[in-house]
Structures are given as C-alpha cells and as structure tokens.
Amino acid sequence: EAQVTQNPRYLITVTGKKLTVTCSQNMNHEYMSWYRQDPGLGLRQIYYSMNVEVTDKGDVPEGYKVSRKEKRNFPLILESPSPNQTSLYFCASSFDKNTEAFFGQGTRLTVV
C-alpha cells in the first residue's frame, strides 16, 4: 500500500529537549516536504526536499532542521523545541513538485 508514515503520532516534550519526527514514504517519490498546521493559519510549509541531499526552506523554517540522506526518509529535527512549536505536523511526498502530494497521518507535538 502506497503511504507516507510519520512517527510518533503524538509527542509531548519539554522546552529545549531535542527531538526528531521521522517520515518515510514507499512510493519512490523524489519530492518531500514538511508542514505545520495551526488553527486559523492553515498548512504552512517548513522545509522541502527536491531529492537526496537537496533541501530548501519553506515559509516557516526557523527552529527546524531536516536531512535527506535517503530517498525514502525525510526526518524533521527540532534541536531546541519551544512552546510556539506546539502544532500538528504533516509530512508529504510527491513524484515531483508539480504533482499530487500524499500526506502522512500527522504528528501532534506539544512542547511544555
């Protein structure tokens, strides 16, 4: 089954404690991206990756890092999480930037 898998689905952490949210896709897609979804603000792109070892900032990259060492994986790293990063995070992948994005199930992160 074609899918984008995120882990964990739910995470509560404390300010400053580094965390990683993993994302994996099994569709051999080249394009992957991370979004955060907040009430009243909709989905905002954090980072995207056109291919292995190619990443670029989206609209709200501050406080986040990503890496793309393999085609299937695109982890999101919060080196020092802060409460304003409490949000619902989605990973998405697509064949290229012009085609349909497939979204993961989401990761609800709470930073206290």
- Taking CB under 8 A as the rule, does residue 90 contact other proteins? yes
**107-111 and 10-13: which strand pairing?**
parallel
- Taking CB under 8 A as the rule, does residue 44 contact other proteins? yes
Smallest separation, CB 37 to other proteins (Å)? 8
- Taking CB under 8 A as the rule, does residue 105 contact other proteins? yes
∠24-29-31 over CA atoms, to 5°? Answer: 90
Binding positions for other proteins, rule: CB under 8 A: 4, 35, 39-45, 58, 90, 92, 97-98, 100-106
